[in-house]
């Protein structure tokens, strides 16, 4: 039968995806904690993006190196020059917080993205092909997972030498197994569905089935895990920095800054909270960052789960 | 109050659903699942309820035992039920404590998926025992008492007097008594080899067997009303035949009334005495089973019967699709698909009216527009 | 109008599924889902396959289109539909698809397709209708760009949908419409042979008739051969030309539809037909109630698989498996009674 090809407007083509987005946003609005989480995450994202504006770096210097306002070991409380005060060695805390946000994002996003990628490949292949191949992959995963995370990360960092790059690589090596497990479980579930078999019946190659059919149906749990993990990764990186295994001294990294305040946690004689700003301020930033991502991750879990059920 | 309720049911009526309205508040809007539904059931009768997706039959059945699934809310109507002892209650007005005494004991329900109704972690004995002990505990304890050796001279009677041992020994006796009861119940269900089945886990049994266990649990306390929501739809045809046969025989043995929900006209013809046809949330026709098949009055019933495939004749599908229950058509919900639709049909939904003895229809073709 | 040739011929087809005891232990038992089935499907006809759960009808459908790899026997397929009746006469190399793989298997997919029972799970919930229906065209590199959209639209229109349905997700449709989308997807490469695996079981009764009408129309306009698998005998009787009855992995009876329904010969077929509830309250059918439950295909009874439930069982039934013979013209039964 003949007919004319109907010209369907671009926005109509997008309409089902728009509807989904609107649904997600509406569900988010109904839970106050989700809004709090979203607000915190948006705040930190803006800070990270606007870092050069909020805390202009000194010319010809690595912007991540915090400018020093002297060399005295005693931290100075907040004052008009140093908005948040300075820590031991007179590193400006305000600058450290702003650029530390960027550093946190860098580590967080990089580690989560690459671990997820490795995990998807390993877990995906294991879940799709199953059999002995899948089992071997999973045992390797289990072995890596059996090591206590922080200790393993420390071991890697010591082996590679301290520095932020080492931390990043170490954390990736420690974090990918949980993604592999998750993805494998999801792939197992989805490959059992009829439509995957239907895709094979059409003649799709294995690769196409995995990428176009199975994977898109597994992203929801992945998104949830990733958003919860960004907080955890940053926290672990901060712990490693605190232990001295991470960024060099003077680098804008929250963990590093808390580490610098180590000698001043007990404060001055007679005034135990004299130097509260040195550890409380980086601590609050760290805490809020992790909280924000955790709340967002929880919100995703609440929203995306019933959406899956509704289908 | 109680005396008023007595008058709502006739002498031989077991259940009457009047103007039941149930709405679901969902993200997509308000789903008007059941709209002024009317049903009535006589003592000892089997009422077949026919309906397709969206007809509201399952929601109605669940509401009869006050288990309307969330986010559903009952927005109107009454469900009058005559209990075993004779008193009449309004299910929708009862509090949870009173409902607990009715569910499982006076009204039982069996569902479509037997393996979903049985807990995979517990053996058959434990699950049937749960039903028996929930409502017949006193009766079982009496039997236990009868079994205990009484004479003081009997050494084993000591077990039942000492404080700590008493409890355990009693439990053992109770277990034995209940097990006997379960075995006899399973034999009534015509389950071969009940000794083996009683100790098995649900997944070790076939679908037909599982459904029999579910029926056993439902009938364990001899309910006066059995609600069956498509219990044989998922079973093989030969097994379905066995189960239908069983239900018919058990109904006579236990004296229960049955509401049997299905979409299969063949099953309806086999098992029902009267038939109620539901469409998009309301009951559109009620008649004795022979009348429904020989002289269907509502256009939907007629179209449904015509659409059953017959060899040799061309297929006669029903035009259109089931309407959205969020934005249902105005007036009679069937009018967009009805070949006889009139102006009147778009304005007000017709009421269910008796147009000939025992035969009720909700259609302006047969009623003078009330 | 039927051609004289066959489009599918199988010889002693077998498909087993291993029951694994664990990763290391070897497979101890096997579920003999299809155990030696020989059938032929004439070009242009609708072949009905009936049986209950566990009889292997779905498995054999999927094995014939090579979605599963057979464990034994042979499958012959000819897109031109000119296969002779006897398997021994079928050209070995060209039409033997039993071991087809790689490119040859993929090419087969253009000519053999399947429509699943449950349209809610057989369509990828995260794909738009347009992508779902267009996928076969893309996978087989049949056309690109605008041409794809044109063909998808054409196909949707022939199954009764329209352009407004293109950019939507499957869950926005009713069961009947989803099944139509699945049919459009199966037919877009203009295959010759379609396996319909209980396509109307998961939809409402009132929608069933319209789907059946669609199948019939498409068969005529596109020249298709169907293998219609179902447990709904009313539908089979109304739609199919030849019918095969399966029990526990074996084909127990095979005949023209009319002949079979008028005179079922195998005891299982008789019991099956008598078990179907008739939508007519005035006829009281003399029902043959089978004893017990259908046995498990992992452990079929020795000899004739039906003998434990058969009321005519004789001694020979417990020892030897009956072979199908032609008891009446074109009416095959596998039973020692004949």
The residue of chain A nearest to residue C132, with distances taken between CA atoms, is: A199
Q: Which of B112, B267, B301, B311 is the best mutation test for C, with the most CBs of C within 10 A? A: B311
| Cβ–Cβ below 8 Å for C171 and A135 | no
| Cβ–Cβ below 8 Å for C238 and B310 | yes
**Euclidean distance between CA atoms A34 and B19, whole angstroms:** 42
Any chains having at least 3 CB pairs less than 8 A from chain A are C
**Euclidean distance between CA atoms B166 and B145, whole angstroms:** 12
- Touching C: A residues 95-124, CB under 8 Å: none
Q: Is the dihedral of CA B202, B206, B212, B215 positive or negative?
A: positive
Quote the pLDDT of residue C1.
Answer: 42
CATH architecture of the domain B2-106+223-278 equals 3-Layer(aba) Sandwich (3.40)
Q: Which of A175, A180, A187 is nearest to A119 (CA)?
A: A180
| Cβ–Cβ below 8 Å for A198 and C114 | yes
pLDDT digits (tens, 9 = 90+) for B60-101: 999 999 999 888 899 989 999 988 888 888 988 889 998 998
Minimum distance, in Å, between the CA of residue A111 and any CA atom of chain C:
28
- For residue B71, whether the previous peptide bond is cis, meaning omega lies within 30 degrees of 0, is yes
**B113 shares contact with chain C (CB less than 8 Å):** no
Lowest mean pLDDT: which of A116-120, A230-234, C168-172?
Answer: C168-172
The predicted model gives A88-94 an average pLDDT of 86
pLDDT digits (tens, 9 = 90+) for C252-275: 999 999 999 999 999 999 988 888
- Mean pLDDT in runs of 10 for chain B (370 residues)? 67 88 86 90 92 88 90 89 86 90 90 88 93 89 81 68 79 90 90 88 88 91 91 85 88 89 90 93 92 91 88 80 86 89 88 88 77
Q: Which residues of C touch B211 (CB under 8 A)?
A: none
Quote the pLDDT of residue A3.
Answer: 47
The answer to whether residue A5 scores a pLDDT higher than 60 is: no
| Cβ–Cβ below 8 Å for B290 and C282 | yes
Question: What are the structural domains of chain A?
Answer: 49-310 (1.10.3720.10)
Quote the pLDDT of residue C167.
Answer: 87
**A213 shares contact with chain C (CB less than 8 Å):** yes
Q: Which residues of A touch C182 (CB under 8 A)?
A: 198
| Cβ–Cβ below 8 Å for C153 and A311 | no
3-state secondary structure of B294: helix
Q: Out of C177, C257, C289, whose CB is closest to B241?
A: C289
Q: Which residues of A touch C161 (CB under 8 A)?
A: none
Query: Cβ atoms within 10 A of the Cβ of A274, count?
Result: 16
| Cβ–Cβ below 8 Å for C278 and B309 | no
**A159 shares contact with chain C (CB less than 8 Å):** no
Any chains having at least 3 CB pairs less than 8 A from chain C are A, B
The predicted model gives A118-132 an average pLDDT of 92
Q: Which residues of C touch B289 (CB under 8 A)?
A: 281
Q: Can you read off the two tokens belonging to residue C254?
A: 């095979």
Minimum distance, in Å, between the CA of residue B98 and any CA atom of chain C:
37
User: Is C317 in contact with C337 (CB distance < 8 Å)?
Assistant: no
pLDDT digits (tens, 9 = 90+) for C210-242: 899 999 999 999 999 999 998 888 889 889 999
**C65 shares contact with chain A (CB less than 8 Å):** yes
| Cβ–Cβ below 8 Å for B192 and C278 | no
| Cβ–Cβ below 8 Å for C293 and B318 | no
The answer to whether residue A309 scores a pLDDT higher than 70 is: no
- Label residue A13 by pLDDT band (50, 70, 90): low
| Per-residue three-class SS string for chain A | CCCCCCCCCHHHHHHHHHHHHHHHHHHHHCCHHHHHHHHHHHHHHHHHHCHHHHCCCCCCCCCCECCECCCCCCCCCCCCCCCCCEECCCEEHHHHHHHHHHHHHHHHHHHHHHHHHHHHHHHHHHHHHCHHHHHHHHHHHHHHHHCCHHHHHHHHHHHHCCCHHHHHHHHHHHHHHHHHHHHHHHHHHHHCCHHHHHHHHHCCCHHHHHHHHHHHHCHHHHHHHHHHHHHHHHHHHHHHHHCCCCCCCCECCHHHHHHHCHHHCCCECCECCCCHHHHHHHHHHHHHHHHHHHHHHHHHHHHHHHHHHHC
Q: Which of C20, C117, C124 is the best mutation test for A, with the most CBs of A within 10 A? A: C124
Q: What is the DSSP letter of C85?
A: S
Q: Which of C204, C262, C271, C273 is the best mutation test for B, with the most CBs of B within 10 A? A: C204
Question: What are the structural domains of chain C?
Answer: 6-111+189-333 (3.40.50.300)
The answer to whether residue A310 scores a pLDDT higher than 60 is: no
The residue of chain A nearest to residue C125, with distances taken between CA atoms, is: A311
Q: Which residues of A touch C121 (CB under 8 A)?
A: 193-195
Minimum distance, in Å, between the CA of residue C327 and any CA atom of chain A:
37
The DSSP result for B77-100, as a single string, is: EEEEEE-TTS-EEEGGG--HHHHH
Q: What is the DSSP letter of C228?
A: E
The residue of chain B nearest to residue C211, with distances taken between CA atoms, is: B317
| Cβ–Cβ below 8 Å for B311 and C238 | yes
Q: Which residues of A touch C150 (CB under 8 A)?
A: 5
Residues sharing a CB contact under 8 Å with residue C268, sequence separation 6 or more, in sequence order: C245, C247, C252, C253, C306, C309, C310
pLDDT tens digit at each of 338 positions of chain C: 445 688 888 888 999 888 766 555 555 678 888 988 999 899 999 999 998 887 889 999 999 999 999 998 988 888 887 777 777 777 666 778 888 888 888 988 999 999 999 998 999 988 889 999 999 999 998 888 888 989 999 999 999 888 888 888 888 888 889 999 999 999 999 999 999 999 988 888 888 888 999 999 999 999 999 999 988 888 898 899 999 999 988 999 999 999 999 999 999 999 888 888 888 888 776 677 777 777 777 778 888 888 888 888 888 888 888 888 888 888 999 988 88
The residue of chain C nearest to residue B323, with distances taken between CA atoms, is: C174
- Touching C: B residues 330-359, CB under 8 Å: none
Quote the pLDDT of residue C330.
Answer: 87
**B242 shares contact with chain C (CB less than 8 Å):** yes
CA atoms within 13 A on the CB side of C216: 19
Q: Which residues of C touch A208 (CB under 8 A)?
A: 139
Q: Which residues of B touch C235 (CB under 8 A)?
A: 309
Q: What is the DSSP letter of C294?
A: P
| Cβ–Cβ below 8 Å for B314 and C234 | no
The answer to whether residue A2 scores a pLDDT higher than 50 is: no
Q: Which residues of B touch C277 (CB under 8 A)?
A: 240-241, 244, 264, 266-267, 269-270
Query: What ipTM was reported for this prediction?
Result: 0.86
Q: Which of C180, C279, C284 is the best mutation test for B, with the most CBs of B within 10 A? A: C279
The answer to whether residue A6 scores a pLDDT higher than 80 is: no
pTM tops 0.80: yes
pLDDT digits (tens, 9 = 90+) for A234-269: 999 888 888 888 888 888 888 888 888 888 888 778
Q: Which residues of C touch B207 (CB under 8 A)?
A: 53
| Average pLDDT in chain A | 86
Minimum distance, in Å, between the CA of residue A145 and any CA atom of chain C:
21
In chain B, what are the domain boundaries? 2-106+223-278, 124-202
The residue of chain C nearest to residue B312, with distances taken between CA atoms, is: C238
Q: Out of C204, C209, C277, whose CB is closest to B263?
A: C204
User: Is A267 in contact with A275 (CB distance < 8 Å)?
Assistant: yes
Kindly list the distances between the CA atom of residue C127 and the CA atoms of A185, A212, A224, A264, A280, in Å, as whole numbers in the listed order: 22, 9, 21, 58, 49
B305: exposed, middle or buried (Cβ count in 10 Å: 0-12, 13-18, 19+): middle
**C217 shares contact with chain B (CB less than 8 Å):** no
Q: Out of B241, B309, B313, whose CB is closest to C275?
A: B241
The residue of chain C nearest to residue B314, with distances taken between CA atoms, is: C213
Q: Can you read off the two tokens belonging to residue A280?
A: 């409380």
Q: What is the DSSP letter of C288?
A: -
């Amino acid at each position: 039968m003949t007919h004319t090809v109907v010209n369907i407007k671009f926005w109509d083509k997008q309409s089902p995806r728009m509807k989904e987005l609107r649904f997600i946003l509406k569900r988010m609005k109904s839970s106050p904690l989700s809004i709090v989480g979203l607000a915190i995450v948006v705040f930190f994202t803006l800070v990270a993006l606007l870092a050069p504006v909020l805390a202009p770096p000194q010319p010809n210097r690595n912007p991540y190196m915090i400018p020093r306002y002297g060399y005295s070991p005693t931290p100075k409380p907040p004052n008009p020059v140093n908005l948040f005060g300075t820590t031991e060695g007179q590193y400006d805390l305000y600058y450290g917080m702003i650029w530390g946000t960027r550093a946190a994002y860098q580590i967080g996003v990089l580690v989560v993205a690459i671990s997820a990628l490795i995990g998807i490949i390993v877990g995906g292949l294991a879940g799709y092909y199953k059999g002995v191949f899948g089992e071997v992959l999973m045992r390797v995963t289990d072995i890596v997972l059996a090591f206590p995370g922080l200790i393993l990360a420390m071991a890697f960092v010591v082996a590679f030498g301290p520095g932020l790059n080492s931390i990043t690589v170490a954390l990736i090596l420690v974090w990918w197994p949980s993604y592999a497990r998750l993805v494998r479980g999801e792939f197992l579930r989805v490959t059992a569905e009829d439509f995957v078999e239907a895709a094979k019946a059409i003649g799709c190659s294995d690769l196409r089935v995995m990428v176009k059919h199975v994977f898109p149906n597994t992203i929801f749990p992945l998104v949830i895990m990733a958003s919860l993990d960004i907080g955890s990764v940053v926290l672990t990186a901060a712990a490693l920095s605190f232990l001295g295994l991470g960024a060099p001294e003077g680098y804008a990294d929250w963990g590093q800054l808390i580490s610098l305040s180590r000698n001043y946690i007990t404060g001055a004689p007679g005034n135990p909270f004299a130097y509260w700003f040195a550890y409380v301020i980086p601590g609050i930033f760290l805490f809020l960052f992790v909280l924000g991502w955790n709340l967002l991750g929880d919100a995703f879990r609440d929203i995306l789960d019933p959406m899956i059920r509704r289908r | 109050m109680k005396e008023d309720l007595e008058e709502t049911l006739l002498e031989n009526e077991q259940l009457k659903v009047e103007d039941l309205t149930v709405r679901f508040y969902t993200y997509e809007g308000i789903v008007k699942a059941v709209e002024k539904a009317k049903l009535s059931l006589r003592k000892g009768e089997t009422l077949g309820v026919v309906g397709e997706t969206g007809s509201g039959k399952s929601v109605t059945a669940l509401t009869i035992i006050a288990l309307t699934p969330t986010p559903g809310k009952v927005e109107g109507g009454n469900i009058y039920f005559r209990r075993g002892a004779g008193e009449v209650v309004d299910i929708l007005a009862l509090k949870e404590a009173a409902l607990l005494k009715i569910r499982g004991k006076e009204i039982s329900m069996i569902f479509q998926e037997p393996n979903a109704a049985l807990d995979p972690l517990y053996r058959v004995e434990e699950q049937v025992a749960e039903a028996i002990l929930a409502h017949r505990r006193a009766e079982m304890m009496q039997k236990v008492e009868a079994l205990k050796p009484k004479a003081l001279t009997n050494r084993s009677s000591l077990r039942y007097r000492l404080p700590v041992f008493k409890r355990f020994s009693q439990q053992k006796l109770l277990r034995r008594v209940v097990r006997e009861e379960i075995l006899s119940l399973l034999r009534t269900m015509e389950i071969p080899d009940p000794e083996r089945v009683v100790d098995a886990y649900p997944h070790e049994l076939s679908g037909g067997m599982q459904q029999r266990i579910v029926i056993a649990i439902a009938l364990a306390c001899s309910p006066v009303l059995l609600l069956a929501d498509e219990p044989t739809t998922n079973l093989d045809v030969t097994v379905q035949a066995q189960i239908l046969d069983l239900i018919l025989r058990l109904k006579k043995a236990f004296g229960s009334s049955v509401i049997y929900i299905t979409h299969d006209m063949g099953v309806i013809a086999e098992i029902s005495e009267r038939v109620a046809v539901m469409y998009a949330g309301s009951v559109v026709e009620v008649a004795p089973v022979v009348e429904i098949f020989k002289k269907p009055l509502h256009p939907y019933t007629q179209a449904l019967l015509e659409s059953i495939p017959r060899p040799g004749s061309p297929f006669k599908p029903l035009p259109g699709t089931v309407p959205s229950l969020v934005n249902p058509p105005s007036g009679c919900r069937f009018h967009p698909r009805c070949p006889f639709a009139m102006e009147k049909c778009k304005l007000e939904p017709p009421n269910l009216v008796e147009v000939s003895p025992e035969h009720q229809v909700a259609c302006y073709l047969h009623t003078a527009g009330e | 109008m039927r051609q004289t040739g066959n489009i599918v011929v199988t010889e002693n087809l077998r498909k087993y599924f291993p029951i694994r005891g664990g990763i290391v232990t070897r497979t101890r038992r096997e579920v003999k889902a299809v155990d030696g089935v020989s059938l032929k499907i004439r070009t242009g006809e609708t072949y009905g396959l009936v049986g209950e759960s566990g009889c292997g009808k779905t498995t054999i459908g999927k094995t014939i289109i090579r979605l599963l790899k057979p464990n034994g026997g042979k499958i012959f397929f000819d897109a031109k539909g000119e296969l002779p009746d006897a398997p021994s006469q079928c050209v070995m190399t060209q039409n033997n698809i039993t071991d087809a793989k790689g490119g040859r298997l993929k090419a087969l997919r253009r000519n053999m397709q399947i429509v699943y029972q449950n349209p809610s799970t057989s369509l990828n919930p995260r794909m738009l209708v347009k992508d779902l229906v267009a996928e076969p065209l893309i996978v087989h590199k049949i056309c690109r760009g605008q041409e794809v959209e044109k063909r998808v639209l054409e196909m949707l229109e022939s199954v009764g949908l329209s352009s407004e349905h293109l950019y939507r997700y499957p869950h926005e449709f009713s069961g009947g419409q989803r099944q139509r989308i699945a049919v459009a997807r199966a037919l877009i490469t203009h295959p010759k042979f379609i396996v319909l695996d209980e396509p109307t079981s998961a939809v409402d009764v009132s929608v069933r008739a319209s789907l059946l009408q669609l199948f019939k129309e498409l068969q005529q306009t596109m020249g298709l051969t169907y293998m219609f698998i179902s447990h709904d005998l009313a539908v089979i009787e109304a739609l199919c030309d030849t019918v095969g009855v399966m029990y526990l992995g074996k084909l127990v009876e095979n005949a023209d539809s009319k002949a079979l329904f008028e005179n079922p010969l195998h005891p299982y077929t008789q019991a099956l037909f008598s078990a179907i509830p008739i939508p007519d309250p005035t006829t009281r059918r003399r029902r043959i109630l089978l004893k017990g439950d259908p046995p498990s295909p992992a452990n079929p009874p020795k000899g004739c698989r039906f003998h434990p439930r058969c009321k005519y069982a004789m001694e020979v039934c417990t020892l030897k498996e009956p072979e199908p013979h032609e008891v009446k013209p074109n009416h095959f039964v596998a039973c020692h009674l004949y």
